A = this chain, B = another copy of it.
Amino acid sequence: MTAAVSARRSQTRQRLLDAAMEAFAEEGFGRTTVERLCERAGFTRGAFYSNFTSLDEVFLAMWEDRSTRMLADVRAALAEVSAEDPGQALRAALAAIPVDDAWYRVTAEFTAHALRNPALRRVMAAREQAIQDTVLPVLVAALARTGRQVRDEAALGRALVAVHDGTAVQVLLEPDDPGAWARREELFMSVLAAYSTPGGDTRDLDAAPGPDAATDLLEEPR
């Protein structure tokens, strides 16, 4: 009964979600119409309204679907290389979080959308937290293996996400610039270095080098 029939249902639902991803990426969320979305999926509007109630709903469902899948990929990729050095661990994480044209377009619009909707804001914040929770432990462990200690994991996590987002646009906006990728990695490494200290042991925190030290240095020219 519900076994095969519901399988069919979730199949069409998925096809609709996939079509949504395509459509939103190519035409933009706002300019996408229910009709054209259904054309892509090979269904009629009837199917759509049977599975969803609005484009907004699909947007959210699709974004969650995709980013959940992506997070799983990252987890899987990191599980394998977790025993290497920080540079390699970071590169593995970067490789697993693809800098994808289409996905970036969609996420950019979703972000804009989320900035207008508190509920969506929370969804995005939670997702970012999940990404940090996945990536940080591996990175911290790899750093520790080289005798480096992270002082403020939360700050490092946020910094890495910010750098990822910021550099991803640059890379995508200038696909011809070959140096873009190198600069991106360079920045990542710098941040990793700046937010960790060489000491395996916890020395006096206030005196330790790191971001705070940099701030102090720059604040008071001497």
Contacts and interface: CB of A to CB of B under 8 A. Distances in A.
Given A116-B105, A159-B183, A218-B85, A173 B211 contact: no
A212 interface: yes
Contacts of A90: 218
Chain A interface main SS type: helix
A222 B114 CA distance: 45
Contacts of A105: 112, 115-116
Interface string A90-114: 1000000000010011101101111
A170 to B, nearest CB: 6
A59 to B, nearest CB: 11
A155 interface: yes
B158 A183 contact: yes
Given A28-B29, A28-B30, A128-B170, 15 more contacts: A28-B109, A28-B112, A28-B113, A85-B220, A108-B109, A146-B218, A162-B163, A162-B187, A163-B163, A163-B166, A165-B165, A165-B166, A189-B214, A190-B194, A193-B217
A204 interface: no
A191 B85 CA distance: 22
Interface in A118-172: 121, 124-125, 128, 145-147, 155, 158-159, 161-167, 169-170, 172
